[in-house]
A = this chain, B = another copy of it.
Amino acid sequence: MSQRIPLETMLDVFVRNLRNVGFESDRARRCASIFAENSAVGVSSHGLNRFPEFIDFVRRRIVNPAAEMVCTARFGAWEQWNGGLGPGPLNACDATIRAIELARRHGIGCVGLQQTNHWMRGGCYGWMAAEEGLAFMAWTNTKPNMPPWGATDCHLGNNPLVLAVPRPSGPVVLDMAMSQFSFGRLETYLREGKPLPVAGGYDADGVVTTDPGAILSSNRVLPIGCWKGAGLAMLLDSLAALVSGGDTTCRIGQRDPEYGVSQVFIAVDVTRAGASRGDGLMDELVADLRASRPDGENGDVRYPGQRIREMHRESLEKGVPVDPAIWEQVVSGL
């Protein structure tokens, strides 16, 4: 990451690539914006670095650039939609907008989305909703990539979960997979030759380790909280499949590569007049957390999403950090 690129330049380059593989103009711009913003907030694993694979998936028609999500059932505040194997980020964005519309009408709104694709950085949908003043939850299932507790082979997805709340001074957004470290994070530690800060999985002998390479080889990542994260992953998968009417991790694992995942988007319109709510309560909560006694002299107790805001500001000022080799590849056309 020795180079920074203006956000606008990155957008233009992404749009050009997307247009080349068949994205219609407006959709190319929206999709480019999601990838560029993900890099801008420091999550290049789901921004620039993932962009070449995304283009490859479109070329191979695993992702259909023209498919828009279609409503298959309406039950009032809950709806089921089919993503038609369209671009995951666009489908997730549309599903978030629809959940917000439903919440504005019914107080709470829920969209179950089946047959969609990887949404890249789930957190961005949380920011969208919370910046509109809504409380928000969303999750996705994935292919099997995590062993159940007490097992050695992968039967669970790491099923990222997003929780977001609005706050006068800016949203608080949590975006986390059910594995202690994402695969992108393991690869980063490996590349930098660093051990993980806490155990992240097992080595080939089934011993818990902080060695990212050993974990990537054994393919046995550790669920957060051992049996608890494994349980969470299983229930999030179950709920995603039931609410969307789509496939479970088990079914998704029957094909390769991963496509046709199931997602849930729930928004609550906590701005409603007449709702009992403590204005300023969220700022008070964050202030209380930040006032915790740090463990260590230069400790700093952060809240989820805090770094995201800082990174975004920096990227707007100085440009978006990029891996020069990947950037060069994308600029010259994928």
User: Which positions in A face B, CB cutoff 8 Å?
Assistant: 72-80, 82, 103, 105-110, 114, 135, 137, 147-153, 155-156, 163-166, 172, 174, 176, 180, 198, 206, 223-226, 228-229, 231-232, 234-239, 241-246, 248-251, 266, 268-270, 272, 274-278, 281-282, 284-285, 288-289, 291-296, 299-304
A234 with B285: CB separation less than 8 A: yes
B135 with A243: CB separation less than 8 A: yes
Beyond A147-B292, A231-B176, A232-B174, whether A281 also contacts B75 by CB under 8 A is: no
A304 with B231: CB separation less than 8 A: yes
Counting chain B CB atoms within 10 Å of each CB, which of A114, A243, A244 scores highest? A243
Beyond A106-B75, A172-B238, A282-B238, whether A156 also contacts B289 by CB under 8 A is: yes
**Which chain B positions have C-beta within 8 A of A238?**
135, 165, 172, 282, 285
A228 with B108: CB separation less than 8 A: no
**Which chain B positions have C-beta within 8 A of A270?**
242-243
A295 with B78: CB separation less than 8 A: no
Counting chain B CB atoms within 10 Å of each CB, which of A147, A237, A268 scores highest? A268
Question: What is the minimal beta-carbon distance from A228 to any residue of chain B, in angstroms?
Answer: 5
B180 with A225: CB separation less than 8 A: yes
Beyond A231-B174, A232-B176, A234-B289, whether A272 also contacts B165 by CB under 8 A is: no
**Which chain B positions have C-beta within 8 A of A225?**
176, 180, 223-225, 229
Beyond A225-B180, A301-B151, whether A277 also contacts B75 by CB under 8 A is: no
Question: What is the minimal beta-carbon distance from A44 to any residue of chain B, in angstroms?
Answer: 20
**Known A73-B274, A152-B293; 8 more pairs at CB < 8 Å:** A76-B108, A78-B107, A78-B268, A147-B292, A150-B301, A224-B224, A248-B284, A251-B284
Beyond A108-B110, A150-B294, whether A72 also contacts B276 by CB under 8 A is: yes
**Which chain B positions have C-beta within 8 A of A304?**
231, 234-235
A114 with B276: CB separation less than 8 A: yes
Counting chain B CB atoms within 10 Å of each CB, which of A108, A166, A249, A288 scores highest? A108
B198 with A288: CB separation less than 8 A: no
Beyond A234-B172, A245-B275, A245-B277, whether A295 also contacts B151 by CB under 8 A is: yes
Of B149, B274, B299, which contacts A301 at CB under 8 A?
B149
Counting chain B CB atoms within 10 Å of each CB, which of A110, A239, A292 scores highest? A292
Of B72, B223, B241, which contacts A278 at CB under 8 A?
B241
Question: What is the minimal beta-carbon distance from A7 to any residue of chain B, in angstroms?
Answer: 27
Q: How far is the CA of A156 from the CA of B107 in the complex (A)?
A: 28
B269 with A266: CB separation less than 8 A: no
Question: What is the minimal beta-carbon distance from A87 to any residue of chain B, in angstroms?
Answer: 21
**Which chain B positions have C-beta within 8 A of A150?**
292, 294-296, 299-302
Beyond A151-B293, A206-B295, A272-B75, whether A281 also contacts B163 by CB under 8 A is: no
Q: How far is the CA of A312 from the CA of B108 in the complex (A)?
A: 35
Q: How far is the CA of A80 from the CA of B248 in the complex (A)?
A: 33
Closest Cβ neighbor of A179 among chain B residues = B225
